[in-house]
Structure formats: C-alpha cells, structure tokens
Chains A and B, each alone.
Chain A
Amino acid sequence: MHFTKSAAILAVGTALTVGLAGCNSGSSSASGSSGDIKIGLSVSTLNNPYFVQFRNGAQAEAKKEGVSLTVTDASNDSSQQVNQVQNFTSQAMKAIILNPVDSDAAAPAVTAASRANIPVIAADRGVNKATVDETIASDNVTGGKLAAQELAKELGGKGTIVVLQGTAGTSAANDRGKGFTEGIAAYPNIKVVAQQPADFDRTKGLDVMTNLLQSHPGITGVFAENDEMALGAIKALGAKAGTTIKIVGFDGEVDGIKAVQAGTLNATVAQQPALLGQLAVQAAVKAAKGTKLAATVSVPVKLATKDNASQFATS
C-alpha cells in the first residue's frame, strides 16, 4: 500500500515536471510544414551566451524555411552528445547539425548518423577522424591575427601587453592564441610580458587581470581570447580600460559589443553566431533535399570597433 502510494506520487511528480518542461520547449521548436523536414541540432552547451545566439539564429531560420528543428543541449559532455545524435537517428531526422563538444570525441556521433544515412553538418567546430557533409566555422586563427593587428594599431606599434588565455587545451584557445602570436610577431616593439589562463570566464578574467596588474603594473594593452574574460579585465582596470590600457576581445557577444560602444573595450573580433546558426540550418535543409554541399564554409569574422559597433546585435 505504502509503496504504491509513494510510487504514484513519484509518477505524478515526474509527469508534471516533464509536462511543464515540454510546454516551455514546445514553443521553441518551429513546427514543420514544407515537406515535413525534420532537423536535429545538438548544441555543445547552452550555458554560454554565444551558443544561445547560435541556437536562436538556427531557430529563426528554421521558422523561416518552415522546417521542424529539435534542439538538444549536450551540457559540454561528449558522451551525452553521442546519445543525443543516436536518438536523432531513431527519430528519423532528415539532417543533423552537430556543434561538437570536442572535435575528437564527436567522431562516434557522426559515425552513428552516417550509418543511418543521415547527413551531418558540423557547426562552429570541426570533427576529426570522421567525414561530415559540411563544416561551418569561424576562422579562429585569422581572428587572432586580426586582434593582434588591431591591438598594435591602437598602441601605435609599441607597448607591453598581457594575454588572457582561454581554457587550456581547447581548440578555440589554441587557435586564437596561435593567430595572435603570429600576428603580434610583426611588431617587434610590442612585448608580451605574460600569458595566463582565465578559462573563458568573466570572474576569472577579473581575478587574473587584478593579479597581473600587481606583477606588471606598466602594461599598455590586453588581448583576451574571449569577451567574457575581456569584460572581467575591464572591471579590474576600471577607468584605465579602453583609455590608457587598450583591450581587444574575441566573440562579439552582446555584452562585448555594448562595452565597445561604451568605449571600455577598444575592439572585439566578432564571430557571427546567429549567422552561423542560420547557415547551418540552410545547409541542413539543402542536405535533406539531397543537394550536394561544399565541404567547408567559413563564416567571416569581423572586427567590431566603436565606428561600426551599431551593426552588431546588442540584444
């Protein structure tokens, strides 16, 4: 008796929770009409404004094209992502957009989809050791070079700078750092005095910048490998941010663009996550209709400065 009662409570509770969550997510997936094309999108994490914009761009495009788009969040867990892609194959998706948590660990997910003859589009990050139908990504190395050139321009070709690095070992941190190092090498009078990790995190950006100011009080420039860290650095630098100490960020996220408009961030290398999402859905629709895709499409990075900041999304 007791057991059945509590089991009933458990069942009702579960049903309510799932139902509630279902209601909320129901509105976010556009229902299909044109040819009933169903597309699955597995996002690496929605715990990051950049990927939220990416998803929003994808959803807007899906609505425009009248296809049904199911979005799942892998919470930065590669094995969860493999499960999600496998679920997509059993849901008879016509195409899958994969935003890999990890380029190496994504191969099993892609293989699972290929076995079911479902085309896969890799977005934002590539997939190693498995073939996808198309890879759409921003060029992080070029972006890093662009950031170096802009920072050098702001500094008039000379100064001492520090670099706030992203999470050690991630492709974004590696590529942006590589591009920046190559770019800054062209300016012999600019010296990089410290490179320290702040894990793409705003709080850590604040803390690491505060600490670096103690050991290198005379710096004139900062390159942060993403906007979150740049925003933390701005907090640490106070009134010096954007004036006596030049800062260049990366991503062009909403708060970053706002900081560029406010003059505290001198420039940010804007990726275009919404455009990335839009292009990914367009490619997925084409693939679902059997059109052959280009192997790689690179979404251009754009330098956002005070002059052109109004062109970028700020909401």
Chain B
Amino acid sequence: MSADTLQKQAGPSERNGAVRAASRFFAENGALGGLVILVVALSLMSGSFLTVTNLLNVGVQAAVTAILAFGVTFVITTAGIDLSVGAVAALSAVVCAWSATSEGLPWPLALVVALGVGILCGLVNGALITYGKLPPFIATLAMQGVARGLALVISQGSPIALPNSISHLGDTISSYLPVPVIVMVAMGLVTAFVLARTYSGRAMYAIGGNEEAARLSGIKVTRQKLITYALAGGFAAVAGIVLASRLASATPEAASGYELDAIAAVVIGGASLSGGKGTAFGTFVGALILAMLRNGLNLLSVSSFWQQVVIGVVIALAVLLDTLRRRSTN
C-alpha cells in the first residue's frame, strides 16, 4: 500500500503503470533479478562477456541442464524429487549411439528407442513411488545406480561414437542458430504448455499443494504421478541426446552430477522443494544463471579452487534473493 502511494507521487500515471508492471514482473520472477545483476556485473568485469557469440555459447552450455531441469520441474511441482535424470540421460545417449552403430538401426528409430528408454526409466520410477510406496528420493536414487550401471554394461565402459546424422543435433545452423538452443527453447515451451494448459499440469500443482486434497477432489493421483516421472525421464533422454550430439559421442560417465545442477536450476527459478510451485520460465532463468556463472568464471580466469566457492555462494544468494522478495511482496 505505502509503496503504491509513493509511486503515485513519483510520476505521471502512465509511467507509474509501467513501473508497477515491471516491479510485479520481477516480484513474480525473482530469479530474473539475479540474472540481470549477473549480466551487468560480468559485462563490467569482462570485455568479452557481452558479445553475441559468447551469449550464444552460454545458451548452448545451458541447454543440457535446462532440458533436464524442465523435466525435474514437473517432479518438484508435485513435491517429488528425481535424482536419476543425469544417469538416465547417459543411458539414453548410450542406447541411442549403440543401437545406431553396433545394431545398425536407422537413426530416427535410434532416437525413438532412446526416448523410449528414458520414458521407461521414468515410468519405473513412478511405479516404484506410487505402487511400491517408495519415497521418491530412494526410488530415483536406485534408478540412478541402475541406469548408470546399464550404460556401462551396454558401452563396455568406453565412449561410443555417434553417427553423423545424429551429431548434427549439436551443430549450429548458419552460424547463429545453435540446435541445442532451439531444442532447449522447444522443450521449455512444451513444459510451459503442459504446466499451464493441460489437465496433467494442473494436477501436478494440486498434488504438490496437497496430495490428499487432490485425491479427494477426484484427481487420479497415481496416474498423474506416473505421467510426471515419465515426462522427467523423457526430458532426460532428450538432454542426453543433445549432450552426446555436442561431443559426437556417447560416454557412460556423461552427465554425472547433472541431477544436482538441474535441481538447483529449478529451485533458483522459484520452485519450492515442498511442491505446488514452479514455472518453466523460472527454471529456464535458473539454468541460464548457472551456465552464465561458469562462463564468466572462465572468462575472468578465476582459480579452480575458488570457482566452486563462488558457484556455491551464488546459488545461495539467488535463492535468498527470491525468498526475500516473496516475503516483501506477501
């Protein structure tokens, strides 16, 4: 209220409206404020940061984490957690490369098989959680081990080269359109659509808000949770294929630890680990913050020991900024 009157005194009503709209936008997307601060700071500190090529690099480097994080957004919205996405990404990539090379499958079919593997892993997670009554943390931790192990079994522990037709997915079209960025944006739009416009999306918010209430109001919680984890698995498969295509090879040890980056991106983006909150845009911003930070640390030649400290501090600050903002608006 008091802020309102202050703004009214400050200027004409048109500008006032714009300011209010902007401040509301930032209030709803707290992480965006963090991103803006980071962009300004890095631009001031490094002359090579704010260039088109470098920003495209940041986009490409954010792609894998962002796609994984979009999938995890669904899960966290239902108050669940998925620790298996990194391993499932590696397994899908290995299956894709293996089926296209040693099994001689045509590449579109290999992609479908890889996607199927990801969705299947997600469904198993979902089944363990719903029918098996396992806590999501344990079910997906188990899947992490199984998926990583199977990736090693299939690849015999060595990287498998990807056929050229698939590795084009890691290329850049006409030097300004990197395919990983296109895939990331497409998956982001799918996430936004699912969360905001579909029955399953609204069911995810309802389950995350209060699972019992959701059940009583007629939502088929079991089925919706299966869908949620299957989506996370499918997104992980896409991320794995993008990752492998960037390197033109699928390695069984790829993407280890990425699940934590993905979870961090989702939480920086304003989702709550206790469920019921989360947006595709917020997650996207969270993934950009992480990628931009790593990029900036390289540009500034920060020593390897300090980099880990800085990343930890920035993650904490980004989430802190968001919680403070929320508290002041409520």
A residues with a Cβ closer than 8 A to B are 24, 46-49, 52, 165, 168-169, 194-197, 202-203, 206-208, 210-212, 214-215, 217, 231-232, 235, 254-255
Contacts and interface: CB of A to CB of B under 8 A. Distances in A.
Tell me what chain A mostly uses at the interface: helix, strand, loop, or mixed. helix
A185 B254 CA distance: 35
B277 interface: no
A212 B152 contact: no
Given A47-B253, A214-B51, A255-B159, A24 B247 contact: no
B304 A196 contact: yes
A231 B249 CA distance: 10
Contacts of A232: 247
A134 B253 CA distance: 30
Given A168-B304, A203-B243, A212-B298, A46 B254 contact: no
Interface stretch (B53-61, B110-118, B191-199): B53-61
B293 to A, nearest CB: 11
A196 to B, nearest CB: 5
Nearest to B305: A168
Nearest to A254: B158
Contact of B246 (A197, A203, A214, A254): A203
Nearest to A177: B304
B162 to A, nearest CB: 12
Interface centre among A47, A48, A212 (most CB of B within 10 A): A47
Given A24-B153, A206-B246, A210-B57, A194 B158 contact: no
B158 A207 contact: no
Interface in B236-265: 243, 246-249, 251-256
Contact of A211 (B152, B159, B246, B295): B295
B308 A168 contact: yes
B294 interface: yes
Interface centre among A24, A52, A210 (most CB of B within 10 A): A210
B158 A49 contact: yes
B108 interface: no
Given A203-B246, A215-B298, A254-B158, A48 B304 contact: no
A211 B247 contact: no
A217 B159 CA distance: 30
B141 to A, nearest CB: 14
A214 B48 contact: yes
B46 A215 contact: yes
B299 interface: yes
26 contacts: A48-B157, A48-B253, A52-B156, A52-B157, A52-B158, A168-B304, A168-B305, A194-B301, A197-B307, A202-B159, A202-B247, A203-B64, A203-B243, A203-B247, A206-B246, A206-B247, A207-B298, A208-B298, A210-B60, A211-B54, A211-B295, A214-B57, A215-B300, A215-B301, A231-B247, A255-B159
Contacts of A46: 152, 157
B304 A197 contact: yes
Contacts of B307: 197
B247 A235 contact: yes
Given A47-B152, A214-B51, 19 more contacts: A46-B152, A46-B157, A47-B157, A47-B252, A49-B158, A52-B158, A165-B304, A168-B308, A195-B301, A196-B301, A197-B307, A203-B254, A203-B255, A206-B247, A207-B57, A207-B294, A207-B295, A210-B61, A215-B46
B159 A49 contact: yes
A255 B243 CA distance: 18
Contact of B299 (A47, A202, A215): A215
Interface string B289-316: 0000011001111001101100000000
A203 B261 CA distance: 15
Contacts of B158: 49, 52, 254
A52 B158 CA distance: 8
Nearest to A232: B247
B298 A235 contact: no
Contacts of B254: 202-203
Contact of B157 (A49, A165, A195): A49
B246 to A, nearest CB: 7
Nearest to B157: A52
A194 B251 CA distance: 28
Given A207-B61, A214-B51, A255-B159, A235 B246 contact: yes
A196 B247 contact: no
Contacts of A49: 157-159
Nearest to A211: B298
Contacts of A207: 57, 61, 294-295, 298
A287 to B, nearest CB: 27
A214 B43 CA distance: 13
B238 to A, nearest CB: 16
A232 B57 CA distance: 14
Nearest to B47: A215
A207 B243 CA distance: 11
Contacts of A217: 48
A232 B248 CA distance: 10
A235 B248 contact: yes
Contacts of B301: 194-196, 215
Contacts of B48: 214-215, 217
Interface in B82-130: none
A267 B248 CA distance: 21
Contacts of B54: 211, 214
Contacts of A165: 304
Contacts of B305: 168-169
Nearest to A6: B132
Contacts of B243: 203
Interface centre among A49, A206, A212, A215 (most CB of B within 10 A): A215
